[in-house]
Amino acid sequence: MRRIHVRPLEPGDDDFLREMFVETFFWRDGPQHSLEDVLAIPEAGKYILGWGRPGDAGVVALSDAGEKLGAAWYRLFSTADHGYGFVSDEIPELGIAVMPSYRGRRVGRRLMEDLITLAQGQGRPGLSLSVEDGNSRAARLYESLGFQRVERIGSAWTMVLQLKA
């Protein structure tokens, strides 16, 4: 893999997005899981069902050969209806995953950088996320990009990156 190309998510990426969504919930090494496994987790569906609603946005990374390597995305939630890493109606919560065989090769960093640029371009005041204990690769990536731990919920941290207008 010589170069990584990153572009905005398109409707044709929906199947890949769902695949990457499953990886965010089953990030520990283990057998393959399905979307149905994720949707059985309380609150999980609200992150992906009806993808494409206003405020949904994301990026996908591709190899030179056009193979999809990973994706990062975000969705807005409300005080009345939100998931794990919610902090405000105006700050979208992000998700990210890289194909298992491409992890540790800076694809995730590139996706995060481009997702932050996208959020800035859309005038978002920040980005939030939830990272579980033990997911040190993800936590280190977020911290290195300036995300700060703001709340402890169960065995996870909510982290926020404030963005300048």
Ligand X SMILES: CC(C)(COP(=O)(O)OP(=O)(O)OC[C@H]1O[C@@H](n2cnc3c(N)ncnc32)[C@H](O)[C@@H]1OP(=O)(O)O)[C@@H](O)C(=O)NCCC(=O)NCCS
Query: Would you put residue 55 in left (φ > 0), alpha (ψ -120 to 50) or beta?
Result: left
Least distance in angstroms from the C-beta of 135 to ligand X:
5
Contact 91, 61 (CB under 8 A): no
Nearer to ligand X, 69 or 76 (CB): 69
Closest to ligand X by CB, 65 vs 165, is: 65
23 contacts ligand X (rule: CB under 6 A): yes
* Closer to ligand X by Cβ: residue 109 or 120: 109
Q: How far is the CB of 136 from ligand X (least distance, A)?
A: 5
- Asked if 5 is part of the footprint of ligand X (rule: CB under 6 A), the reply reads no
Kindly state whether residue 68 participates in binding ligand X, applying the rule CB under 6 A: no
> CA nearest 131: which of 93, 100, 99?
93
Q: How far is the CB of 68 from ligand X (least distance, A)?
A: 13
Q: Which of residues 84-143 bind ligand X (CB under 6 A)?
A: 96-98, 103-109, 129, 131, 135-138, 140-141
Nearer to ligand X, 21 or 76 (CB): 21
Q: Is residue 128 exposed (0-12), middle (13-18) or buried (19+ Cβ within 10 Å)? A: buried
Residues between 25 and 54 with contacts to ligand X, criterion CB under 6 A: 27
Q: Is 24 in the site for ligand X (CB under 6 A)?
A: yes
Binding site for ligand X (CB under 6 A): 23-24, 27, 96-98, 103-109, 129, 131, 135-138, 140-141, 144
